[in-house]
């Protein structure tokens, strides 16, 4: 169990000084709206009760000294010499620092400690949580006067420039901006957002982690993004006003994309339909219609698996298996794809029974452990 006291004690052991601030920034789930964020579409995420914790204090010099509990490793560099590193994990912190330096904000040397209980590699955005925790902590430490949207944008740019992933804004936005008991209906074009109550009654959200990450993930992500951009370029030859798939219709795709690029057509159609599903789930939540919400989750998975082609046998098996149970209203793969978790809308009384039923079946079929992650929609980044 991670606590403020435990972090403070560990910080003192490592840095021989007291932490000035401790920040908690949560991981996230996304109810629906997958791969729409980098297409200027809509998403429906919320933060969860699993988080990355960052403790910081100023130094008297210009050194940056980092420690990651998960890796039991220090990393240090002068502020003047920060650059992307092959070690991986420091990049999420250094990328944020680089963005602050680019903005000519008054940053100097600091010590920073990282711990957390967001399962790594499960698609719960531990990287975005770390970026937002870092941004929030440095904002307070150096009195930078950034708001939460600034911190989310800085986290996204850190991921682009230092981690090398051209991610959308959803993960950082959900980590920084979420409100307990609500989902965020986020417009990824202009970052306007609405809080929608997430009232699940007798149901709860259960994540089932495949514990697999296929190596296709990063290349495939960039390939999907390219296919969507190719479709937009084809449409723009006739409709100059179309800036992204957000502005496109299926009719435009059928006329201008299908004859030239069948693959781009199928993937782009999925994005347009996924945007519509976000709107439909919002209406279902407002009406307390969890059955419709669940059906839309199942349909989204079919599209992600068969059309956008970002699923894998383990994810498909988990979704197909739960369809037999009336106590489960909906399920789909969540995140970039090729591994990670399924998100399941499960009756509370059936949650533990489901875990007991599925674990041995999955483990026998794939020779992998199935990890169940119970989550509670929670508030965004905060100072402890």
pLDDT tens per residue across span 47-76 = 999 999 999 999 999 999 999 999 999 999
Higher pLDDT, 324 or 336: 324
Contact present, 373 and 16 (Cβ < 8 Å): no
User: Mind listing the pLDDT tens digit for each residue in 224-237?
Assistant: 999 999 999 999 99
- Active-site residue among 171, 190, 261, 356? 171
Spatial separation of the C-alpha atoms in residues 3 and 9, rounded to whole Å: 10
Give residue 217's pLDDT band: very low, low, confident or very high (50, 70, 90): low
Average pLDDT rounded to a whole number, residues 94-118: 97
Average pLDDT rounded to a whole number, residues 367-381: 96
pLDDT of res. 199: 94
Q: Is the pLDDT of residue 24 over 70?
A: yes
pLDDT of res. 123: 75
pLDDT of res. 40: 94
Q: Tokens 């781009």 label which residue? A: 264
> Could you tell me which CATH class the domain 4-197 is placed in?
alpha beta
Spatial separation of the C-alpha atoms in residues 51 and 383, rounded to whole Å: 12
Write a three-state SS string for 323-358: CCCCCEEEEEECCCCCEEEEEEEEEHHHHHHHHHHH
Give residue 216's pLDDT band: very low, low, confident or very high (50, 70, 90): low
Spatial separation of the C-alpha atoms in residues 177 and 146, rounded to whole Å: 13
Helix (H, G, I), strand (E, B) or coil at 94: helix
Average pLDDT rounded to a whole number, residues 9-20: 98
Domain ranges for the chain: 4-197, 203-376
Contact present, 268 and 245 (Cβ < 8 Å): yes
Question: Known catalytic residue: 171?
Answer: yes
User: Mind listing the pLDDT tens digit for each residue in 157-194?
Assistant: 999 999 988 788 999 999 999 999 999 999 999 999 99
Mutual angle of helices 148-158 and 170-177, in 10-degree steps: 150
Q: Is the pLDDT of residue 259 over 70?
A: yes
Q: What is the CATH number of domain 203-376?
A: 3.30.70.890
Average pLDDT rounded to a whole number, residues 110-121: 91
Measured in whole angstroms, the distance separating CA 205 from the mean position of its chain's CA atoms is 16
Token pair recorded at residue 367? 């020779």
User: Mind listing the pLDDT tens digit for each residue in 332-351?
Assistant: 999 888 999 999 999 999 99
For the chain, give the mean pLDDT: 95
Average pLDDT rounded to a whole number, residues 309-320: 97
pLDDT of res. 215: 64
């Amino acid at each position: 169990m991670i606590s403020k006291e435990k972090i403070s004690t560990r910080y003192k052991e490592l840095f021989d000084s007291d932490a000035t601030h401790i920040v908690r920034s949560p991981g996230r789930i996304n109810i629906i709206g997958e791969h729409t964020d980098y297409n200027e579409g809509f998403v429906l995420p919320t933060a969860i009760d699993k988080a990355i914790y960052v403790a910081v204090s100023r130094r008297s010099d210009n050194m940056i000294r980092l420690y990651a509990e998960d890796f039991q490793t220090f990393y240090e560099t002068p502020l003047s010499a920060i650059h992307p590193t092959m070690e991986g994990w420091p990049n999420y912190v250094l990328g944020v620092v680089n963005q602050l330096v680019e903005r000519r904000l008054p940053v100097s040397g600091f010590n920073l400690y990282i711990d957390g209980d967001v399962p790594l590699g499960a698609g719960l955005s531990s990287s975005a949580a770390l970026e937002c925790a870092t941004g929030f902590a440095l904002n307070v430490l150096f009195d930078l006067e950034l708001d939460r949207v600034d911190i989310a944008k800085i986290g996204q740019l850190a991921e682009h420039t230092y981690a090398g992933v051209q991610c959308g804004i959803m993960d950082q936005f959900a980590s920084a901006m979420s409100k307990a008991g609500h989902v965020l209906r986020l417009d990824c074009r202009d970052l306007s957002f609405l809080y929608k109550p997430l009232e699940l009654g007798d149901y709860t959200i259960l994540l089932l982690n495949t514990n697999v990450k296929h190596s296709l993930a990063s290349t495939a992500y960039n390939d999907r993004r390219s296919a969507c951009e190719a479709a937009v370029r084809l449409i723009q030859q006739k409709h100059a006003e179309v800036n992204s798939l957000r502005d496109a219709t299926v009719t435009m795709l059928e006329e201008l994309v299908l004859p030239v690029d069948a693959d781009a057509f199928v993937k782009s159609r999925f994005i347009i339909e996924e945007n519509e599903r976000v709107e439909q789930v919002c209406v279902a939540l407002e009406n307390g219609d969890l059955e419709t919400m669940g059906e839309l989750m199942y349909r989204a998975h079919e599209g992600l698996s068969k059309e956008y082609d970002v699923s894998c046998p383990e994810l498909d098996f988990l979704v197909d298996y739960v369809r037999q149970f009336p106590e489960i209203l909906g399920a789909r793969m969540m995140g970039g794809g090729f591994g990670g978790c399924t998100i399941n809308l499960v009756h509370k009384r059936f949650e533990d029974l489901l875990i007991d039923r599925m674990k041995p079946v999955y483990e026998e079929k794939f020779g992998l452990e199935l990890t169940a992650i119970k989550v509670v929609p929670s508030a965004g980044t905060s100072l402890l």
